[in-house]
Structure 1
Amino acid sequence: MCFSLAKYFLFAFNFIFWLAGAGMLGVGIWLNVDPNVANTVDVAGLEFYYAGAIVMIVAGCIMLVVGFFGCCGAIKESTCLLGTYFGFLFVILGLEVGIGIWALVTYDDLESLIGDSMNALDFNTSPDNPLVAMEQNLECCGGNKGCIDWSATGASSYGCACDPNNVKNASYCVMASSVPGCLADTNTDTNPGLANNYIYVQPCSEATYNFIEDNFQIIGIVALVIGCTQIIGLIISMCLCCSIKNKKKSGYPA
């Protein structure tokens, strides 16, 4: 009875694990192709973010294969498939721990990395300046100093125009005249011509950091849940494999 429960539990577990792999693959692809993410990462010079997305895609593909081995091994009561499954799962868990350590080390330097990238931004009023798209996507303005970064170059708060009635955080959208040293946005594409001339005041360095931090928290929670389930899978697969061997040695049908 316990053997049968363990077998079907492992099958159900690996089916869920297989679905989690499909989900991770989908998230990794999304992080690679979403234009908002791509623009933010490119402008901020955070190429390591792409590396994390690629890791998620690879991990998702491996999880699909491993989940298949686990399901087949449990149903067919194959020690060979279960052993292969255990080996794959152990290696993946080790890689995830290594990636987690790397992410934590990188995360400690994230704020300074973003700050350095923002200092290197090109504050020009060209219509195709990718900074403008990032300002509108993240509801921010300038680099480390906000709209002051634009006025320091003799330009207006280019691309920083906002509608206080259509923003995620109204406190970041204020009248340009209320910010010392800043001017209204003269970009006709982003400035709807409103008389109030509102602009974003949140620096893009802060917005980018929050954007990355929010995504890291989601990925971290998902990784923690998957890691815990993997440990359970390792334990169950090892117990089931040993039970199958003992049954075969004793001559009882599995």
Structure 2
Amino acid sequence: MGKGCIAATKYFLFMFNLLFFIFGAVILGFGLWVMLDNQKFITVLHESTTLKVGTYILIGIGSLSMLMGFLGCIGAIYEVRCLLGLYFTCLLLILIAQVTAAVLIYFQRDLLKYEMSTIVNKILVNYTGHNKTSEQAWDHLQRTMKCCGWTGPSNWTENVVINSQKNNSQILYPCSCKNESISGTDIKETGLCEALSPEWPVFTTGCISSVEDWLLRNCGVILGVCVGIAVIELLGMILSMCLCKSVQQEDYTKVPKY
């Protein structure tokens, strides 16, 4: 009966580590996507030191999770106590790091929001439509989210190009803000367009509201994924300790030789 329980624990731990390896690959992939994707809103925030550090932390956690999943599989199948103990310790450190990061983000949310606002306003003021990576990302966000500016279209009035053309009686507005339900002139995805009247044919909602609405709509999925990962980590810690206690002595002859 005891051997059967040990065998069940061993294979449950192996399956868990396989899932943990997959979760690590997902976290690593997400971190790489945040760092390399040039078409999404996250690119606009690449100028933020805080978010850059967060991206590297995600990549590090994903890589470490994959390594720990691999070590956990070997430790479980071959019943190597030192690997199981190392696996438990690293898993505990990862869980503590994740909880710490979540707490810091929660209590620093106002600072992050201010930093995001500063970055976006800088992009809007210096926007020229010359296909910079951050400008492309911001145009993509305004088109897909159907919003304009950070808090509203008035943020664009500080743009250097739009202000410089006022003396020539030329009224410019950001093309990616165009509300297609309103009759206007040019229909372009990027750059600045010319308006026929002082009233811009653009969306009136600021992108901060659209982003917050998106987060609220998807907060259940985000929280579910985070809680699921934490539960799996806790189960892995419990199973690794149970298996480690059941192993009577070290037997390094079980370790595969390559």
Aligning the two structures, in what range does the TM-score lie when normalised by the shorter sequence? 0.7 to 0.9
Taking the aligned partners of 1:185 and 1:40, their CA distance within structure 2 comes to: 28
Taking the aligned partners of 2:79 and 2:189, their CA distance within structure 1 comes to: 64
Does residue 27 (structure 1) correspond to residue 30 (structure 2)? The answer is: yes
Does residue 150 (structure 1) correspond to residue 156 (structure 2)? The answer is: yes
Taking the aligned partners of 1:142 and 1:229, their CA distance within structure 2 comes to: 41
Q: Structure 2: which amino acid aligns with 1:69?
A: L
Moved more, 54-63 or 32-41: 32-41
**Aligned position for 1:11:** 14
Moved more, 14-23 or 110-119: 110-119
Q: Deviations over 1:98-126 (max 9, x none)?
A: 11111111224444444444554543662
Contact 1:17/1:67, CA 8 A, preserved across alignment? yes
Moved more, 29-38 or 150-159: 150-159
**Aligned position for 1:49:** 51
Moved more, 58-67 or 98-107: 98-107
TM-fit CA distance, 1:11: 0.5
Does residue 221 (structure 1) correspond to residue 209 (structure 2)? The answer is: no
TM-fit CA distance, 1:135: 2.9
Match of residue 2, structure 1, among 1, 5, 8: 5
Q: Deviations over 1:39-67 (max 9, x none)?
A: 4325xx54433322221111010001100
Contact 2:173/2:194, CA 8 A, preserved across alignment? no
Does residue 235 (structure 1) correspond to residue 247 (structure 2)? The answer is: no
Residue 12 to residue 122, structure 1, CA distance change in 2 (3 Å): closer
TM-fit CA distance, 1:82: 0.6
Unaligned runs of 5+ in 2: 251-258
Q: Structure 1: which amino acid aligns with 2:10?
A: K
Question: Any residues of structure 2 matched to 1:1-254 within 5 Å, and which?
Answer: 1-35=4-38, 36-42=40-46, 46-123=48-125, 126-128=128-130, 130=135, 132-144=139-151, 146-151=152-157, 153=163, 155-159=171-175, 160-164=177-181, 175=182, 190=190, 198-210=201-213, 219-245=222-248, 248=249
With normalisation by structure 1, the TM-score equals 0.73
Q: Structure 2: which amino acid aligns with 1:71?
A: C
Residue 236 to residue 53, structure 1, CA distance change in 2 (3 Å): same
Taking the aligned partners of 1:121 and 1:23, their CA distance within structure 2 comes to: 31
Taking the aligned partners of 2:49 and 2:219, their CA distance within structure 1 comes to: 15
**Count of paired positions:** 227
**RMSD of aligned Cα (Å):** 3.5
Contact 1:114/1:209, CA 8 A, preserved across alignment? no
Taking the aligned partners of 1:40 and 1:137, their CA distance within structure 2 comes to: 15
Match of 1:157, SS state, is: strand
Unaligned runs of 5+ in 1: 165-174, 177-183, 250-254
Taking the aligned partners of 1:217 and 1:48, their CA distance within structure 2 comes to: 25
Taking the aligned partners of 1:103 and 1:216, their CA distance within structure 2 comes to: 15
Residue 215 to residue 41, structure 1, CA distance change in 2 (3 Å): farther
